[in-house]
């Protein structure tokens, strides 16, 4: 089965080039080679094009420049996925990267006829991309719809194309975009494969959307509003 890596990008306050370059370098060394990369660029400038041009002869890249304002991260992620053609679609945020050079191979080989999606283990890295801590091994909990995330960011997920053909990231959400889609997919397609190998590093930095959202004066109210929306959408 061919894989697609869906990468939503933006300028990240001037650090988008650095982050995408780091991610591409971990893609370049993957042992599994039957994949495409789809970049959906929401940047206001064209600086990420230079990174794409540098790597376009190293692996198959489709670059999509968003001409219209998609509004937020979920919409940009959906656009990246929409342009994927692989049998398995792996979501990767541009500020995260693969921790294991066999990550794609392990994800590919773990899929079977009984499961339609997968979540893998992850760790976190400081802004330098070299200091690693907090290994997270994904597990399910029913409170995930209330924001108790025991899986991690969308960078740990992969799904068969038919899943994303039916279910999209909810574009009205920010903080709950991951928890909501995990709950939604499980409701429609059943349990994921829980791959406990640490395959992805989540970069923690001040410019990521969740950090800026948490720092806002109304962050608690915004999260509460999103949780109530998700509960109403799925449980009422």
Extract the tokens encoding 133: 């801590």
CA distance linking residue 56 with residue 41, whole number of Å: 15
Largest Cα separation within the chain, whole Å, is: 50
pTM value > 0.85: yes
Q: Give DSSP secondary structure letters for 54-97.
A: HHTTTSEEEEEE--S---SHHHHHHHHHHT--SSEEEE--TT-E
Extract the tokens encoding 136: 């997270």
Give every CB contact of residue 159 below 8 A, 6+ residues apart in sequence.
88, 89, 116, 117, 118, 185
pLDDT on residue 180: 98
Is the Cα torsion angle 186, 192, 194, 195 positive or negative in sign? negative
pLDDT on residue 33: 98
Question: Residue-wise pLDDT tens for the chain (236 aa)?
Answer: 999 999 999 988 888 999 999 999 999 999 999 999 999 999 888 999 999 999 999 999 999 998 776 657 899 999 999 999 999 999 999 999 999 999 999 999 999 999 999 999 999 998 777 788 999 999 999 999 999 999 999 999 999 999 999 999 999 999 999 999 999 999 999 999 999 999 999 998 766 555 545 545 466 788 999 999 999 999 97
Q: Give the domain 3-235 fold.
A: Spore Coat Polysaccharide Biosynthesis Protein SpsA; Chain A (3.90.550)
CA distance linking residue 179 with residue 66, whole number of Å: 26
pLDDT on residue 216: 52
Please say whether the beta carbons of 170 and 177 come within 8 A: yes
Which of left, alpha, beta for 120 (phi over 0: left; psi -120 to 50: alpha)? Answer: beta
Buried b (16+ CB within 10 A) or exposed e, 97-114: bbbbebbbbbbbebbeee
CA distance linking residue 77 with residue 153, whole number of Å: 13
pLDDT on residue 210: 55
Is the Cα torsion angle 173, 148, 223, 99 positive or negative in sign? negative
pLDDT on residue 206: 65
Give every CB contact of residue 6 below 8 A, 6+ residues apart in sequence.
38, 40, 77, 80, 81, 83, 84, 89, 90, 91, 92
Helix (H) / strand (E) containing 98: strand 97-98
Q: Give DSSP secondary structure letters for 183-233.
A: HHHHHHH-PPEEEEEEEEEEEP-TTSHHHHHHHSTTHHHHHHHHHHHHHHH
pLDDT on residue 61: 98
Side-chain half-sphere CA neighbours of 49 within 13 A: 8
């Amino acid at each position: 089965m061919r894989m697609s890596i869906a990468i939503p990008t933006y300028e990240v306050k001037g650090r988008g080039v650095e982050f995408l370059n780091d991610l591409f370098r971990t893609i370049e060394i993957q042992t599994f080679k039957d994949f495409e990369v789809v970049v959906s660029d929401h940047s206001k400038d064209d600086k990420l094009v230079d990174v794409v041009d540098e790597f376009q002869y190293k692996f198959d890249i489709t670059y999509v420049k968003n001409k219209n304002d998609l509004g937020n991260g979920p919409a940009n992620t959906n656009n990246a996925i929409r342009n994927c053609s692989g049998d398995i679609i792996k979501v990767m945020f541009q500020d995260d990267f693969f921790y294991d050079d066999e990550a794609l191979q392990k994800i590919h080989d773990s899929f079977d006829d009984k499961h339609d999606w997968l979540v893998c283990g992850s760790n976190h890295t400081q802004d330098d991309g070299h200091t690693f801590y907090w290994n997270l091994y994904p597990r399910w909990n029913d409170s995930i719809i209330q924001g108790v995330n025991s899986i991690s960011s969308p960078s740990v997920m992969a799904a068969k194309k038919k899943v994303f053909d039916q279910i999209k990231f909810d574009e009205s959400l920010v903080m709950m975009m991951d928890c909501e889609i995990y709950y939604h997919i499980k409701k429609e397609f059943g349990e994921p494969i829980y791959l406990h190998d640490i395959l992805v590093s989540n970069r923690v930095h001040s410019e990521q959307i969740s950090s800026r959202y948490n720092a806002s004066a109304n962050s608690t109210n915004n999260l509460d509003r999103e949780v109530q929306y998700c509960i109403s959408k799925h449980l009422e």
